[in-house]
């Protein structure tokens, strides 16, 4: 069988294992995909390491030792969990890995099992051939969808020496930008926004619902908190990565200027078309109000209410900066609220230079010779941030990498993430397998 056929078969089995992570510790059950991967590597000369910080939450690493200790190592980080499905809203079975009209349907097909399967297949091919100069490791990671607490985060904090974090590839990249003059540009993630989750508490008067006169309502107060935060406008950020992204679109000079200097209006962002929401999130701290709680019984005035927010800071922004912004937005209500920190993580960034970035650029040019290669930031999260955070020889450059056909621009590729009827074009699977094969062989001194 060909490398592509091996990858497709593995991908379908990973989907069918249905390792659904609902963000609770006992979900995921990635031991099924770990077992599939162990079977896939049977008979090869690889070192296998398993990590199980919680029953059933298994990550597994496969390492092909290099012949030259001084050569650059490469680590491929692929997660094996998927998000839940709202099955009545799917028109295709979410875990059958059905192929129809050149597309593979299934939860996780795009996020990110097609990359995980490609990484595994290429690593197995390397293990079966001549020994590479640099050490290659593929890791099938649990719990990425819950921010890696039982996967990459746990390994990076508890067993960081298990494999190299110096040069890492994971999700996402390789989709095309809709450049205005019709030329081609392809984005690859070099960084991602952080996490600044908050829970804001307010308190009011308790009492019977039949006598509300003169009461301080916690519900009314939390509603005003939500309104004020929604009305506040986080400032735009401008950095080298954002500026390069803007310039790649080849807007008129006036539009380019306001997008870069932070004075752009909503109508300016709308010029990104289907990528307008992504572009706005790329250049701003985003605040999404997602959970609101107050009360229980309809005849009781609740004395406590709280609002939870998913906040994503950009590189360089601190948690103190976020709290200052919220307090300013709340104005005279600031002294009446308690701001609780939930998950907080700094944004991360890798410079777009060095041997691994050069390999991404040269590999892209093999497939799309006329395309500009554009560094971008992910507005969500990935396991790459743990590689970027490790200091010294333990951590280093970490990028998203895949390869999509020209018909798949970034908006259409991103639209499949966590979507109903999630599907992958088989053309993109073939491109990604070939691209990983080429890049890995070049980087490890085999080509």
* Tally of CB atoms within 10 A around 444: 24
Residue 188 lies in a domain: no
Mean pLDDT value across residues 282-309? 96
> Where does the pLDDT of residue 416 fall: very low under 50, low under 70, confident under 90, or very high at 90 and above?
confident
Mean pLDDT value across residues 414-421? 88
Mean pLDDT value across residues 294-319? 95
- Is 272 or 391 the better-scoring residue by pLDDT? 272
Question: Looking up tokens 């999404």, which residue turns up?
Answer: 288
Question: Looking up tokens 């060909």, which residue turns up?
Answer: 2
Q: With 90 as the cut, is the pLDDT of residue 447 above it?
A: no
* Same domain, residue pair 340 and 403: no
* Same domain, residue pair 221 and 333: yes
* Same domain, residue pair 58 and 118: yes
* Same domain, residue pair 171 and 239: no
* Same domain, residue pair 22 and 113: yes
Q: With 80 as the cut, is the pLDDT of residue 83 above it?
A: yes
Q: pLDDT at position 330, please? A: 98
* Same domain, residue pair 242 and 106: no
CB 229 within 8 A of CB 424: no
Residue 132 lies in a domain: yes
* Same domain, residue pair 335 and 372: no
Mean pLDDT value across residues 248-267? 95
* Same domain, residue pair 142 and 242: no
> Where does the pLDDT of residue 78 fall: very low under 50, low under 70, confident under 90, or very high at 90 and above?
very high
Give 372's contacts (C-beta < 8 A, 6+ positions apart).
Answer: 183, 184, 185, 186, 248
Q: pLDDT at position 411, please? A: 85
Angle, in degrees to the nearest 10, between helices 114-128 and 31-40: 30
Q: pLDDT at position 26, please? A: 97
* Same domain, residue pair 208 and 89: no
296, 327, 345 - which closes a domain: 345
Question: Measured between alpha carbons, how far is 154 from 177 in angstroms, rounded to an integer?
Answer: 35
279, 313, 345 - which closes a domain: 345
Q: With 80 as the cut, is the pLDDT of residue 364 above it?
A: yes
Domain CATH for 240? 3.30.70.360
* Same domain, residue pair 199 and 311: yes
- Is 414 or 41 the better-scoring residue by pLDDT? 41
Residue 186 lies in a domain: no
Q: What is the pTM of this model?
A: 0.93
Residue 14 lies in a domain: yes
* Same domain, residue pair 19 and 155: yes
Residue 189 lies in a domain: no
Question: Measured between alpha carbons, how far is 6 from 405 in angstroms, rounded to an integer?
Answer: 21
> Where does the pLDDT of residue 414 fall: very low under 50, low under 70, confident under 90, or very high at 90 and above?
confident
Question: Looking up tokens 């010779």, which residue turns up?
Answer: 369
Q: What is the CA radius of gyration of the chain?
A: 23
Tokens of 99: 């192929």
Question: Measured between alpha carbons, how far is 424 from 417 in angstroms, rounded to an integer?
Answer: 10
Q: Which whole-number Å values give the CA distances from 357 to 42, 157, 286, in the listed order?
A: 32, 26, 28
Residue 145 lies in a domain: yes
Quote the number of domains for the chain: 2
Q: What b/e readout covers 270-309, taking b as 16+ CB neighbours within 10 angstroms?
A: ebbeebbebbbbbbbbbbebeeeebeeeeeebbbebbbbb
Q: pLDDT at position 17, please? A: 98
Residue 187 lies in a domain: no
φ, ψ at 28 (rounded to 5°):
80, -65
345, 363, 396 - which closes a domain: 345
* Same domain, residue pair 202 and 175: no
Question: Measured between alpha carbons, how far is 306 from 319 in angstroms, rounded to an integer?
Answer: 20
Please state, for a pLDDT cut of 70, what percent of the chain lies above it.
99
Q: Which ranges in 174-308 belong to alpha helices (H)?
A: 218-231, 240-248, 253-261, 266-269, 276-282
Residue 185 lies in a domain: no
Q: In which domain, by residue range, is 232 found?
A: 195-345
CB 154 within 8 A of CB 51: yes
Domain CATH for 86? 3.40.630.10
Q: What b/e readout covers 8-28, taking b as 16+ CB neighbours within 10 angstroms?
A: bebbbbbbebbbbbeeeeebb
pLDDT digits (tens, 9 = 90+) for 384-399: 999 999 866 556 899 9
């Amino acid at each position: 069988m060909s490398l592509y056929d091996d990858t497709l078969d593995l991908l379908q089995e990973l989907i069918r294992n249905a390792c659904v992570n609902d963000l609770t510790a006992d979900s995921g059950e990635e031991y099924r995909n770990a077992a599939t991967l162990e079977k896939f590597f049977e008979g090869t000369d690889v070192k296998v390491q398993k990590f199980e910080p919680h029953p059933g939450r298994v990550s597994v690493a496969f390492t092909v030792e290099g012949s030259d200790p001084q050569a650059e190592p490469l680590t491929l980080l692929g997660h094996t969990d998927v998000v839940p499905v709202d099955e009545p809203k799917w028109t295709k079975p979410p875990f059958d890995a059905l192929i129809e009209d050149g597309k593979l349907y299934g939860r996780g097909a795009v996020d990110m099992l097609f990359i995980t399967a490609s990484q595994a297949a290429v690593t197995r091919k390397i293990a079966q051939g001549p020994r590479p100069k640099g050490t290659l490791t593929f890791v099938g990671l649990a719990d990425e969808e819950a921010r890696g607490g039982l996967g990459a985060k746990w390994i990076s904090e508890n067993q960081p020496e298990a494999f190299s974090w110096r040069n890492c590839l994971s999700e996402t990249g390789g989709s095309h930008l809709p450049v205005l003059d019709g030329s081609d540009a392809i984005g690859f993630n070099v960084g991602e926004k952080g996490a600044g989750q908050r829970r804001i508490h307010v308190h009011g008067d308790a009492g019977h619902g039949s006598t509300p006169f003169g009461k301080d309502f916690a519900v009314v107060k939390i509603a005003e908190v939500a309104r004020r935060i929604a009305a506040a406008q986080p400032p735009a950020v401008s950095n080298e990565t954002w500026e390069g992204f803007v310039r790649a679109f080849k807007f008129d000079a006036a539009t380019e200027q306001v997008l870069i200097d932070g004075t752009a209006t909503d109508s300016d962002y709308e010029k990104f078309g289907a990528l307008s929401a992504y572009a706005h999130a790329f250049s701003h701290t985003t605040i999404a109000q997602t959970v609101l709680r107050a009360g229980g019984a309809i005849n009781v005035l609740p004395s406590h209410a709280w609002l939870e927010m998913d906040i994503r800071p950009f590189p360089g922004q601190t948690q103190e900066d976020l709290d200052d912004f919220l307090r300013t937005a709340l104005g005279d209500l600031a002294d009446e609220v308690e701001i609780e920190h939930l998950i907080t993580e700094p944004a991360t960034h890798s410079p777009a230079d060095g041997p691994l970035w050069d390999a991404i650029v040269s590999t892209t040019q093999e497939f799309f010779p006329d395309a500009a290669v554009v560094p971008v930031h992910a507005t969500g999260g990935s396991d790459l941030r743990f590689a970027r955070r490790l200091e010294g020889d333990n951590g280093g450059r970490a990028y998203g990498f895949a390869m999509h056909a020209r018909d798949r621009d970034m908006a259409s590729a991103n639209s499949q993430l966590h979507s109903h009827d999630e599907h992958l074009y088989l053309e993109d699977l073939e491109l990604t397998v070939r691209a990983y094969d080429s890049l890995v062989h070049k980087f490890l001194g085999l080509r």
